[in-house]
A and B are shown apart, each in its own frame.
Chain A
Amino acid sequence: MKEKLEQIKKEALEQIGNAGALDALNDVRVNFLGKKGALTAVLKSMKDVAPEDRPKVGQLVNEAREEIEKALESAKTKMEQIIREQKMKAEVIDVTLPAKKNSVGHRHPNTIALEEVERIFIGMGYEVVEGPEVEKDYYNFEALNIPADHPAKDEQDTFYVNGDILLRTQTSPVQARVMEQGKLPIRMIAPGRVFRADEVDATHSPSFHQIEGLVVDKNITFSDLKGTLAEFAKELFGEDTKVKFRPHHFPFTEPSAEVDVSCFKCKGAGCRFCKGSGWIEILGCGMVHPHVFEMCGIDPKEYTGFAFGIGLERISLLKYEIDDMRLLYENDIRFLKQF
């Protein structure tokens, strides 16, 4: 019996070794381990074995079966591996063929710049607020310390609807509207469209965007204004950006300043981009004029504050090196796709 089992085992292993395909392996399994297989036949013939020998024989049969199964399994794994290798070999692709893209749309460069600015100021605890684009003369001028006869009113080339209503020339009226509500302290930015009667050309547009900033609290100082805008410039233009404050005049802030940043192209060495100066003007700012506080019902002896105004187009034109403002409003897809 033992010899017979050895013989079966030997035959099985030999056949496994010769099997060239998965089908052949399966045949081996059926021929030896199947219901009518050779090994099964041995088990079936147990009744002819002396009862005392049966456990022994049973054990031998099981050992043979295990050995065959193991051999089958390893042969199968090996064979599957070969088949997979072959399949993959046949599946080689040219990875340099063009990509299949989802045609995702593109954000306007102004919006990209605005979202940058918003992100920076929201991080510093500022709330984003909005105000009307068609605005009252009072908020656009008078509440900002620009009385009826002030020359600044002419300088801004205002579009009027009638004597009292105009298209806002700046986002600054939002300052007055927020302060008037009297909820202090204030930390806000107000982005939005503004309008001035400039003919369209490469550097002018009758409609453009500003971002107004306002902070009002007890103990706000000019040094806070400097620190805040220095942080902003570093975030927007890079860690090594330097900031220069130059005295300037705005009716609604005093002291006032214009802010230059070190040219981010030449790092201040002077290039065509910064007209050789190494500096680029980016915004105007100052300490809220006591008069403006008074008109909004805030006591300038108790509260101080600073305000700033950024030209959004100025930022996007600079940052993305766009050389003609008209491109921003033409919406040629070949332009928009570059952002």
Chain B
Amino acid sequence: MNTALSWIKAYVPELSCTDQEYCDAMTLSGTKVEGYERKDKNLEKIVIGQITKIEKHPDADKLIICQVDIGSETIQIVTGAPNVKEGDKVPVVLDGGKVAGSAHSDGPLPEDGISIKAGKLRGVPSNGMMCSIEELGSNRDMYPEAPEYGIYIFPQDAEVGADAVEALSLHDTVFEYEITSNRVDCYSVLGIAREAAATFDKPFAAPVVEIKNETGNVNDFISVEVQDKDLCTRYCGRVVTNIKIAPSPEWMQRRLAASGIRPINNLVDITNYVMEEYGQPMHAYDLDTIAGHKIIVRRAKDGDEFQTLDGQIRKLDSEVLMICDAEKEIGIAGIMGGENSKITDDVKTVLFEAATFNGANIRKSAKRIGLRTEASGKFEKGLDPRNAKEAIDRACQLIEELGCGEVIRGMADEGAPLAPLREIPFEPERINKLLGTDVPAEDMLKIFEKLELVYKKDENVLVIPSFRQDLAGFADIAEEVARFFGYDKIPTTLPSGEATTGKLPFKLRIEQKARDIAEYCGFSQGMTYSFESPKVFDKLLLPQDDMHRQTVTIANPLGEDFSVMRTTSLNGILTSLATNYNRRNKDVRLYELGNIYLPHQVPVTELPDERMQFTLGMYGEGDFFTMKGVIEEFFTSIGMTKPAQYDPNAGKPFLHPGRQALIRYENQAVGFLGELHPQVADNYNIGTRVYVAVLDMPEVVKFATFDRKYTGIAKYPAVTRDISMVVPKNILVGQIEAMIAQRGGKILESYKLFDIYEGEQIKEGFKSVAYSISFRAKDRTLEEGDVSSAMKKILNGLESMGIELRQ
């Protein structure tokens, strides 16, 4: 909402402050000023001059020499403007003055304006400049009387020597406000003026609405029937006859222009003016186009079509409210009038409509029809039915004052009965208790008085004016006190009362550990979107019946690429790796902690299972076992000290079939890792080997613990035996280790692979594997017998697997 300060001051005459003071104070009392713009910025030393004589320039065909009377003296100005003649009154910038813009540029105004100096044009002295409306920083939309090309010409009654900027009402500042959605009343000049009056503690002077000469009876011109009162809370209609279309007066044009509204003619300008002033949109119909001189407000029928006054055909349905006459639909209520009742310059009699509608209905209709207008934007906030009458009367007053027509007596007034004014108990102690303040009750009442809340002492209630629809209960009243007492004056304290323990839940502590370990291992944290394209599943080679294709699907996504909630975290990390690969970043390691969303059923009827995934991905330096190392470091760090099992039959189609493993801990699957399938790497345009790992954190967290127990440092020596084996290729070292662990008994301390070899010296289909096995007892030095019996068990076990022992 943009409004000239001069318009606000019209209702708060005693308001006197700088622009910045106004901006700060209004923002602190809740009417946020987004910014402001001085209309006279860079307009210096500009007066009204009268051209007394024009001569041709001796050396230039397109230039003329003007003698200009500026009151105190007559100065000579050379100009190329085509539109001036002797006797014209024009804005003149004197030597050393400034204008805001250039006549020859449509671009933004220069920050410091353009300085004007006396000089010579083609040898002839010129001591100033006559200027156009564009040079004064404005344009013909705002000043329609200005000529298309050339110098602005003042009316003949303009005073020579007077301030030209003043004469154009440019000594003004336009403020832009951000109005919160609850303050419908502040989408109007009066609403903001009322706030300004309360903020600066100055009297508020609302316009006095009075129509001097009313004739006839409205009922002889129009009858109104509201059939759907649930959607139309009030319909006010007034009639004006003998319409004389003409330009509106300058003061009205200027105020509209400052608000960003282009002046058109008196009738249109009045409706726009009242819409700005009262926040009530109005519509004007040519009464002669209204069949049966009857207005019916009712719902449209499904499938109806209607041509709005912009010429477009609109499809309607039974939830769209229509304004109709006795025969046909003539407007979409609150959104746009119809082509068939459009007003022309020949209009004789006008029906003014000021109505209020169900805001939510207007909002939804505008959305369905695809037509959001200035009017619907206001109606959808739910307007005050009482304000509608005040606004329509104000419009009729202006019609009369501007000589635009004759006002017919009376108003057609239909709709739901007006709700009684709301009453809210006055609870000063509770207000102070909520705010942490000590504001005396009398001071609160003074604030309410400024806001036009009436205090009924005997009932101890506040009567809320109808325009303050946002004031519904105790907390709203407390806010009014806070706003005008001053948010800045409320003390700052810290909550007292029962002490509470600050804490991070266990799950989040595990995630913190995951971040620490990943980073120690060289992985940087990425973040990717939770939604992605369903095409991801094809990229990851998931079969058509794969359960990951069952997704939580967004009904109104930003596009197919963001349409399903991810059921696997891989796409995010792979896309990020691809970005890095494409940008030629070397040796990239990324991790992410983010949810996947697994639906319990499709279509979704309950909230999905959100599972935190710890996802790692890398290319460049490192391999499968680097990744495996990260997993094991993480497990150790969260107390998962038993050996994890790696099952090569992970069955992940997106991984290299010979280089993937399901990770189990205590026989529970907790994740997987592997090298990316080369086809998938191709699908992501990554031209190198990629390794990924995903841990399903809800499963991991079950095994995690931060408990640690000291087990002592071994006092007795260890005994180590090395064994060397020839092992059938299909046996995994994991199986050998499982056998060692199973047969080693209590004294088995550790085992370590120290050599693995396939090749020339080893027969086809076998590999050579060597382990170093350590035994130790806590309470004694081991004897040869202990070790050899344990070794015997181990060796027997290994032999039973088809493993040959090498001597």
Contact = CB atoms under 8 A, between A and B. Distances in A.
Interface of A: 102-108, 110-111, 118, 121-130, 132-136, 149-152, 154-155, 159-162, 165, 167, 185, 187, 193, 195, 197, 199, 206-207, 215, 217-224, 226-228, 230-231, 244-249, 254-257, 287, 289-291, 304, 328-334, 336-337
Interface stretch (B89-97, B265-273, B516-524): B516-524
Interface string B591-624: 1001101000001101110100000000000000
B501 A125 contact: yes
B475 A290 contact: yes
Contacts of B6: none
Contacts of B182: 249
B503 A105 contact: no
Given A111-B515, A249-B180, A161 B502 contact: no
Nearest to A244: B488
B497 interface: yes
B709 interface: no
B504 A122 contact: yes
A193 B530 contact: yes
Contacts of B476: 254
A102 to B, nearest CB: 8
A136 B607 contact: yes
Interface of B: 27-30, 32, 180-183, 359-360, 363, 367, 380-381, 433-437, 470, 473-476, 478-479, 482-483, 487-488, 490-505, 507-508, 515, 518-531, 552-558, 562, 565, 576, 579-580, 583, 585, 587-591, 594-595, 597, 603-604, 606-608, 610
Contacts of A249: 180-183, 470
A206 B552 contact: no
B525 to A, nearest CB: 4
A56 B775 CA distance: 61
B181 A247 contact: no
B553 A161 contact: yes
A176 to B, nearest CB: 14
Contact of B493 (A185, A223, A329): A223
A125 B497 CA distance: 12
A132 B610 contact: yes
Given A151-B380, A248-B180, A223 B437 contact: yes
Prevailing SS type, chain A contact patch:
mixed
B449 to A, nearest CB: 19
Contacts of B474: 290
B432 to A, nearest CB: 9
A39 to B, nearest CB: 43
Residue among A108, A161, A207 with the highest chain B CB neighbour number at 10 A = A161
Identify which of B381, B492, B501, B556 gathers the most chain A CB atoms within 10 Å of its CB.
B492
Residue of A134, A154, A162, A329 with highest tally of chain B CB at under 10 A: A134
B434 A129 contact: no
Nearest to B565: A134
Given A105-B523, A217-B495, A245 B585 contact: no
A245 B565 contact: no
Contacts of A245: 487-488, 490
B144 to A, nearest CB: 34
Nearest to A229: B492
B194 to A, nearest CB: 15
23 contacts: A103-B522, A107-B519, A111-B515, A123-B502, A130-B505, A133-B530, A151-B181, A151-B381, A159-B555, A167-B554, A193-B594, A217-B495, A217-B497, A224-B494, A226-B492, A246-B32, A247-B482, A256-B479, A328-B527, A329-B527, A332-B585, A333-B590, A336-B524
Given A130-B507, A199-B558, A291-B473, 12 more contacts: A111-B525, A126-B502, A129-B505, A149-B360, A160-B555, A218-B497, A227-B492, A245-B487, A247-B30, A254-B479, A331-B580, A336-B590
B558 A197 contact: yes
B30 A248 contact: yes
B554 A106 contact: no
A289 B32 CA distance: 22
